[in-house]
Amino acid sequence: MPETIQVLLDETRSFPPSAEFVEQANLSDPGIYDHANGDPVAFWEGWAGALDWVERWHTALEWNPPNAKWFLGGKLNACHNCVDRHLGGPRSAKRAIVWEGEPGDTREITYHELRDEVCRVANSLKELGVGKGDRVCLYMPMVPELAITMLACARIGAPHSVVFGGFSAESLWERINDLQAKLLVTADGGWRRGHIVPLKHIADQALAMGCPSIEKVLVMNRAGVPGTLTNGVPTPDYATGVWNEQIDVRWSDLVPRQPKECPCEPMDSEDLLFVLYTSGSTGKPKGIVHTTGGYLTQVLATTKWVFDLKEQDVFWCTADIGWVTGHSYVVYGPMANASTVVMYEGTPDTPDKDRFWRVIERHKVSVLYTAPTAIRTFMKWGAEYPDRCDLSSLRLLGTVGEPINPEAWIWYHETIGKRQCPVVDTWWQTETGAILITPMPGIVATKPGSATRPFPGIGAAIMDDGGHDVSADHIGRVRAGLRPAPVGGFLVLTRPWPAMTRGIYGDPQRFFDTYWARFPGRYFTGDGAKLDEDGYFWLLGRVDDVMLVAGHNISTMEVESALVDHPAVAEAAVIGRAHEIKGQAIAAFVIIRSSHVASEALTEELKSHVAAKIGPIARPDDVIVAAELPKTRSGKIMRRLLRDVAEGRALGDTTTLADPAVVAALKDKYEDKES
């Protein structure tokens, strides 16, 4: 039987933390791993104790797989811990949010001002009939009011569910009804690439499909009527929503007149904080449930240690709040740490491809957390854009979203970090709530492409097809000073952690079947991974994306990394297509850098490069040069659609794509090649 996943790519470069960084780091003692793993429950209790509790818990953990409860009996409020507890001293005047709209308009909100605004919105929600336990759906642009409304919901004990402001009416309708939301909060529109996304119009379409639970719709004004100027930029013509006097309420009529005082509702540690929907393999979105005490404890801890956050830092996580990364590392994690958070509304190429770097320069961002897909796009555009800007304020870089190719890691380190900034490559999921595998920047020597080690207190292992733990012996040999050959398999989590999902909303059986049935007592992440000779974890992508080529299970990530290693390639997506002899053949879709020209000679060179880099078995059968790759609005490549293209099938659902035209163009190009 072949290995669960072949281990092919060999990356030997290593970057230990500098002495200067270690000296000032929040965490620099390697002994923290043994300490935390020796008694992980006590370790997490220590972090929970850093929060304000109305009542302290009596039991730290109740674990009946697959159900975990953390800090039982404890009562607290997430909004209080993110806002109110920072007031009364110098932090009252500290900037909480530094916001920049796509047209260039800006706002700064201090923690004192944030509390006032949150209270006004919380009182508005109450006036609209929202109380403890009522669900609120948020469909908004990337503006401060989105974070404020989340905190206002938490303040009064109303669970929120944010729907990304680029999703379709059908996606919004589906989520509202699954959640049985009582209130929808939206905006007239939001800016994206110089245009207005007509959010109110889309929301109207969703409600017209039938959302009987919705009683009111609170509508914020962001776009204005056509011709309105925003920082000198006129609002273009767009399809406005139709005002419904029966349920629609103007933010400008309701919120400003509310009092600036609203008490925080004491919440049980296991009370629902939010539900966030993620795509499911059946086509029906999964409502991932996160509760209050454990989630807040872990995002507090990971934000503080992974990003080495200091009081003076300006932290920019570039994710939209519509994704879990935005929940944990734009709102709850940084604000629980009283950090200054940057929010940006638009895209990185508006008005020019230097927009991200201009934001960093203008606001003196010191910690940047972004996605590998964005980094590879920046590589494609070239170093000229970041080189225009002063990035000297940066001191730490992070990545999130999917495995990062080693060459993209190196480009990020050298071009953006100027070889001075540690790079923390983080692995986690919507379901995990917080970062689980990551370097501690003051302790761990990083390797390009590796997420390195589990966060202290987190248990992770690699299983084979037969359900055997292949990592335990491997780690033992590493600790004995040996350098065992790398092993690959399925990534699982071996013990409960505070921020873990408490289930799929309304569907406990699906929760068990998806995450807990395959390896009893262990959480199956759905990802492949390997352990290298130093015991470092390397994420290999979704198991569904592993290719079976002539009896060898090959990770798409390793082939993509080999392709991006070539100087002509900016980005690559690899899939396995059906092959009558080999079972699957490797098909690669690549974006080449502007300094190179597509040709038959180049495609043959790329095939040979992969074979030389990781072995002949991984040589692609097809290399297709593409202008763009099909990506979701969060930046993830949709390899399922690439398989449809390569195998000549009708295209599956494309509603979550940032640009559905991309995959149609690829289909035409692939068919031209085959003809």
Rounded distance, CA 537 to CA 361, Å? 34
How many Å separate Cα 443 from the centre of its chain?
Answer: 24
Does residue 403 have a known ligand-binding role? yes
Does residue 479 have a known ligand-binding role? no
Identify whether the C-beta of residue 563 lies closer than 8 Å to the C-beta of residue 609: yes
Does residue 430 have a known ligand-binding role? yes
**Looking at the domain covering 112-268, what would its CATH class be?**
alpha beta
Over residues 535-553, the mean pLDDT reads 78
Does residue 193 have a known ligand-binding role? yes
| Phi, psi (degrees; rounded to nearest 5) at 605 | -65, -40
Does residue 425 have a known ligand-binding role? yes
Does residue 39 have a known ligand-binding role? no
* Mean residue pLDDT across the chain: 91
Does residue 483 have a known ligand-binding role? no
Q: How many CA atoms lie within 13 A of 449 on its CB side?
A: 24
Does residue 648 have a known ligand-binding role? no
Q: What is the pLDDT confidence band of residue 301, given thresholds at 50, 70 and 90?
A: very high
Highest mean pLDDT of the ranges 365-374, 536-545, 572-581, 590-599:
365-374
What's residue 8's pLDDT?
55
Give the DSSP letter of residue 279. Answer: -
Does residue 192 have a known ligand-binding role? yes
Nearest of 559, 563, 579, 583 to residue 571 by alpha carbon:
563
What's residue 671's pLDDT?
66
What's residue 554's pLDDT?
76
**Those residues with Cβ within 8 angstroms of residue 34's Cβ, 6 or more apart along the chain or in another chain:** none
More confident residue, 298 or 613: 298
Three-class SS of 406-437 = HHHHHHHHHHHCCCCCCEEECECCCCCCCCCE
Q: pLDDT per residue over 27-64, tens digit each?
A: 999 999 999 999 999 999 999 999 999 999 999 999 99
Over residues 556-565, the mean pLDDT reads 86
Question: Is there a cis peptide before residue 520, judged by omega within 30 degrees of 0?
Answer: no
**Does the pLDDT at position 180 exceed 90?**
yes
**Does the pLDDT at position 2 exceed 50?**
no
**Does the pLDDT at position 18 exceed 80?**
yes
Rounded distance, CA 451 to CA 340, Å? 26
Highest mean pLDDT of the ranges 497-506, 592-601, 645-654:
497-506
Rounded distance, CA 447 to CA 189, Å? 42
Does residue 457 have a known ligand-binding role? no
What's residue 171's pLDDT?
86
Does residue 423 have a known ligand-binding role? no
Surface-to-core class of residue 58, CB atoms within 10 Å of its CB (0-12 exposed, 13-18 middle, 19+ buried)? exposed
Over residues 462-472, the mean pLDDT reads 92
The structure tokens listed for 671 are: 């068919």
Nearest of 580, 541, 675, 563 to residue 625 by alpha carbon:
563
What's residue 381's pLDDT?
92
Rounded distance, CA 540 to CA 615, Å? 17
Read off the pTM: 0.87
Q: Which ranges of 523-594 does DSSP label H, i.e. alpha helix?
A: 556-564
The structure tokens listed for 223 are: 């776009």
Q: Fold identical between 112-268 and 546-674?
A: no
Does residue 426 have a known ligand-binding role? yes
Strands 367-370 and 487-493: unpaired
Over residues 414-433, the mean pLDDT reads 97
Percent of the chain with pLDDT over 90: 72
| Phi, psi (degrees; rounded to nearest 5) at 571 | -155, 150
How many Å separate Cα 638 from the centre of its chain?
Answer: 16
- Lowest mean pLDDT of 40-44, 132-136, 607-611, name the range: 607-611
Look at residue 454 and give its three-state secondary structure. Answer: strand
Q: pLDDT per residue over 622-659, tens digit each?
A: 898 888 888 776 667 787 788 888 877 766 655 556 56
The structure tokens listed for 55 are: 């009542």
Beta bridge pairs of residue 267: 76
What's residue 556's pLDDT?
82
Does residue 527 have a known ligand-binding role? yes
What DSSP string runs through 108-138?
A: EEEHHHHHHHHHHHHHHHHHTT--TT--EEE
Does residue 70 have a known ligand-binding role? no
What's residue 630's pLDDT?
81
Rounded distance, CA 427 to CA 453, Å? 10
Range list of β-strands (E), 544-675: 547-549, 552-554, 569-579, 583-592, 622-625
**Does the pLDDT at position 466 exceed 70?**
yes
Does residue 243 have a known ligand-binding role? no
Q: pLDDT per residue over 235-292, tens digit each?
A: 887 767 899 999 999 999 999 999 999 999 999 999 999 999 986 544 578 999 999 9
Identify whether the C-beta of residue 570 lies closer than 8 Å to the C-beta of residue 380: yes
Does residue 399 have a known ligand-binding role? no
What's residue 636's pLDDT?
73
**Does the pLDDT at position 672 exceed 80?**
no
Look at residue 508 and give its three-state secondary structure. Answer: helix
Does residue 427 have a known ligand-binding role? yes
The structure tokens listed for 80 are: 């209080």
CB-CB neighbours of 645 under 10 Å = 24
Give the DSSP letter of residue 329. Answer: I
Does residue 104 have a known ligand-binding role? no
* Residue ranges covered by each domain of the chain: 112-268, 546-674
Q: pLDDT per residue over 219-250, tens digit each?
A: 999 998 888 888 888 888 776 789 999 999 99
What's residue 282's pLDDT?
47
What DSSP string runs through 615-628?
A: -GGG--SEEEE-S-
Identify whether the C-beta of residue 321 lies closer than 8 Å to the C-beta of residue 331: yes
CATH superfamily of 546-674: ANL, C-terminal domain (3.30.300.30)
Does residue 401 have a known ligand-binding role? yes
Helices 144-156 and 111-127 meet at what angle, rounded to 10? 60
Rounded distance, CA 638 to CA 265, Å? 41
Rounded distance, CA 488 to CA 528, Å? 7
**Does the pLDDT at position 594 exceed 60?**
yes
Q: What is the pLDDT confidence band of residue 1, given thresholds at 50, 70 and 90?
A: very low
